[in-house]
Amino acid sequence: QVQLVESGGGLVQPGGSLRLSCAASGFSVDSRDIGWFRQAPGKEREGVSCIRSFDSRTFYVASVKGRFTISRDNAKNMVHLQMDNLKPEDTAVYYCATHDTDTLYEWPSGVGYNYWGRGTQVTVSS
């Protein structure tokens, strides 16, 4: 079955970097769009980035453009999120997610993204 496992979170100082990884099983990461989402305490879930399956086009929420980079490693069946110049407002639990092949789905809302990992905590603090 479809499974997603995030890793790479941690505590980092403002201006630092982290690389999140999403290991997928049960499907090929190049066959479905993969999205990264985050949720901070007391806030709604937010779509951070997405990589489209058929053309590898990438998308970012405005607040992370120029700082975050999403990439896909088809050989390892993984998707990564490189996060540079991190800010305290980036603190959140980060999730990767994907969708069924026969349903409608939409990023950044996450509607139709039916498969989610458990998340990895990112804390940006001095």
Each residue of 90-115: pLDDT tens digit? 999 999 999 988 888 999 999 999 99
CA distance linking residue 16 with residue 66, whole number of Å: 14
Contact between residue 8 and residue 69 where contact means Cβ atoms under 8 Å apart: no
The whole-number pLDDT of residue 103 equals 85
Each residue of 2-11: pLDDT tens digit? 999 999 999 9
Query: Which letter, b or e, does each residue of 74-112 get, where b requires 16 or more Cβ atoms within 10 Å of its Cβ?
Result: eeebbbbbebeebeeebbbbbbbbbbeeeeebebbebee
Contact between residue 70 and residue 22 where contact means Cβ atoms under 8 Å apart: no
